[in-house]
Structure 1
Amino acid sequence: MDAELRDPAGATAERQSAQDLVELWLSLAEDRLREAADSPSDQARWREAIQAVTPPEESATEPSFVTFLSGARVLLHCLLDAERPGPPVGAIADRVRKLIKDGEYPAGAWLPVGRIAAESGCLTASVERVHLALRDLEAEGLVTFSPSSGRARVVGEARKPDRPAQIAGWLRVLIRAGVYPPYSELPTSQPLARGLVAKVQDVSAALHGLAAEEILNYRRGRRPLVKPWLPIDVAPPPEIADLAQEMRGLVTGEVDLSSANVRMTCHRARVWWHSRLTPAPDQLEDTFRTLVGAALDLFEFFLETRDSCQDADTVTLLRRTGVTALAKMPDDAQERVWRTACLAVAVLEVQVAATALARRREFIRRAWTATDATAGPALCPPDAPVNEIDGRGIS
């Protein structure tokens, strides 16, 4: 504005040069407007951008040069975004609309913009297309936006799952599979809740439900006991070697089992469940496969040790981990996330047990060397490797 007051002729020349340059963009912008015929939100964006730089009629007041340049920048941004790879706004809206109707995004589910953009083949810089697609779906009554956060979610109330029933169902699977055979004890509510990534009150309600089914003897504050005679069919306790053999068939291709990647994978699985996020199916599958690979690697370590080095709780933990890895995944998307989180917690627990066992064996080895024992068999022979879990995702 100061430049226009000091040198009106120069400012006019600069404005004319800018207008001449923008004129070259307008024809391309008009083409983009016609191509956006299947997206009202995208069309409105193009109309607004074109109108902001279109010379006004003679009777209209001409906008300031600053306002014109601001509109030119917006138009250029739209044109550059349209040149990036990826489907148009209408195609993204069609895809999300189908996922909503197919139940992939159920009622009340939040719609992650970044994930939708990635799965649609858009660059991160092109998430604006997803926002426009969601605005189209909002006009159709399929999507609503939060007034406070601006996040989009599917219209309707989210279905609240019966968590005690889900937990009881999974405990029933573990009992059937022999993880907790007849007349064995389950952990108390708090450690059991940690292993099931659940609230203590939900676990307690599930235990009461199983007690009502005559599957458990349960009193608050005491370890639940599996009854010796059950109303359901149960398998004998599985052998650790058999579980490891079955898991080998699930681990295909290259799997990064470095300590850092295993920890990150376990953390990601738990965050998904705690935040009630629904990751892409292939991402969840890759995460689960990595966890199965980590579990298998830990199983191999335990299979290399002597049976006398393993207590009953460790064997039960290994059985729970193996059965969790091998059990059929549920159809519900959120239950699949929960099952993955349960496996992640089990892998972390087995890591702790394996590390403790390795340290105990090293202590025995050092004691053997220091005393130069000559009589009787050793719990761990002195020629055993010093650290048998290096490179197995254990720190």
Structure 2
Amino acid sequence: MIVELRTASTQGAEPASGSMYHRLREELVAMSRIREHDGVAEVLRLMTPWLPTAQDLLEATGSPSDRERWRRLVEEAQKADRSDFVAVSTAARILLRALLEASRPGPSVEEIADRLRRGIADGAYPPGSVLSRVRILRDVGLTKASESRADRAFQDLVAEGLITISLSKRVQVAGQGELPDQLALTTELLRALVVGGVYPPMSSLPTRPKLSQALATEKSITTRALRQLHDEGFLSVHRSAGSVVRPVAPVPVSAPPALEVLVGRLRSAASSGAPLTPADIRANCRSARAWWRQRSAPPAESLRRMRQVLVATAADLLPLAACRHPDDPSVHAVLRRTAVVALYDWPAELRIEVWRLACLATAVLEVLDLAGGAA
């Protein structure tokens, strides 16, 4: 923390040599050795010279939660009952430990809060996304020992209505977690599956619950997307018969693409790497789906790597699943859907890419199960 502080001296008017951090550690060790029979005076001898430093921090901070914390610590140290050794020594140790943490390098509470505000404003932390304490500490260059700074920055943002903190201490950006155009995106992807020949004319789409799971979308949104495609002339949607692709669509529809062609395109789009075990594949898919479920905002490079891994995994699994189910149209529809989702134009917006990765991860898990022991 870059603040000009008055440092304590237990020897006289001039500060003792050595850094503030090491001096505080030494005095905390010395304070831990003081026993009640030594008296309150010995505790005060170590604590009192540090009160001006704490007062400096109180006056310098621009964080409301940090200011309140230093005000409380100074007040408790000054007003502790001088006849009560336990009360005085407890207040003194808490104050010196807080000063010890403040002497560590790294951004202040105010600086952390400002960085989070900017991230929320520019969309790096979208509405509904979960803020990982581990990631925040890493991004701002703090260690676990200074986690309390991030917690106080979170408290400032809660007071401003920018984030919420649950009883389980889950930190989440305020606002709706769904994409504002989730219906349009879901409809577009479904339309691409029909036009791309994944579901040929006169074939039935999966049930709405299964489609909702495949598209990582609420059932209500899936229902509205199906109804929109019905209105556009792509589907016939009936409550009892489900959704069926109409024999004549309003635009040209491709014939079901050959799996060999799709696998070749997947291999061209994927980066080379060592084959993954089924356990590795499931772990990757769980991570990708968790990003969307928690509305996280992972770094762009992490998204790129995950996409490459899932595309390569799909390229490896599709031939295995096809060999196990050579004549099953419903299985081949799953395989074609997986390939089309993997190959369809990837969006530039981070939140949409997180959603699309969840769709791809769900498809890859289905294909892994269809490949069975062959995987």
TM-score scaled by length of structure 2: 0.74
Cross-structure match for 2:295: 277
User: Do the aligned partners of 2:126 and 2:351 also contact (CA within 8 Å) in 1?
Assistant: no
Mapping 1:183-332, distance limit 5 Å: 183-252=202-271, 257-273=276-292, 275-282=293-300, 283-299=302-318, 301=320, 305=323, 309=326, 311-330=328-347
Provide Cα deviations, 1:316-364, integer angstroms capped at 9, x if missing partner: 2222111112223345554433322221221111112111xx5xxxxxx
Aligned letter for 1:315?
Answer: H
Cross-structure match for 2:359: 342
Cross-structure match for 1:21: 46
Aligned-partner Cα distance in 2 for 1:178–1:147: 45
Which sits farther off after the overlay, 157-166 or 191-200? 157-166
User: Do the aligned partners of 1:189 and 1:200 also contact (CA within 8 Å) in 2?
Assistant: yes
User: How many residues are treated as equivalent by the alignment?
Assistant: 340
Provide Cα deviations, 1:273-308, integer angstroms capped at 9, x if missing partner: 4x44224234444443332232222135458x59x8
User: Do the aligned partners of 1:115 and 1:280 also contact (CA within 8 Å) in 2?
Assistant: no
User: Do the aligned partners of 2:131 and 2:172 also contact (CA within 8 Å) in 1?
Assistant: yes
Q: Return the offset for 1:68.
A: 1.9
Aligned-partner Cα distance in 2 for 1:326–1:162: 21
Task: Choose the corresponding residue for 1:94, options 114, 123, 126.
Answer: 114
Q: Percent identity?
A: 36
User: Do the aligned partners of 1:188 and 1:222 also contact (CA within 8 Å) in 2?
Assistant: no
* Aligned residues: CA RMSD: 3.7
For the structure 1 residues 256 and 71, does the alpha-carbon distance in structure 2 shift closer, same or farther, using more than 3 Å as the test? Answer: farther
User: Residue 309 of structure 1 aligns to a residue in which SS?
Assistant: coil
For the structure 1 residues 223 and 153, does the alpha-carbon distance in structure 2 shift closer, same or farther, using more than 3 Å as the test? Answer: closer
For the structure 1 residues 256 and 69, does the alpha-carbon distance in structure 2 shift closer, same or farther, using more than 3 Å as the test? Answer: farther
For the structure 1 residues 252 and 70, does the alpha-carbon distance in structure 2 shift closer, same or farther, using more than 3 Å as the test? Answer: farther
User: Do the aligned partners of 1:164 and 1:202 also contact (CA within 8 Å) in 2?
Assistant: yes
Q: Return the offset for 1:171.
A: 0.3
User: Residue 218 of structure 1 aligns to a residue in which SS?
Assistant: strand
Q: Return the offset for 1:260.
A: 2.1
Aligned-partner Cα distance in 2 for 1:253–1:122: 35
Task: Choose the corresponding residue for 1:39, options 24, 47, 63.
Answer: 63
Aligned-partner Cα distance in 1 for 2:142–2:270: 30
5+ residue gaps, structure 2: 1-34
Rg: which structure is higher? 1
Aligned-partner Cα distance in 1 for 2:318–2:166: 50
Q: Return the offset for 1:89.
A: 1.6
Provide Cα deviations, 1:229-250, integer angstroms capped at 9, x if missing partner: 3223444443333433433355
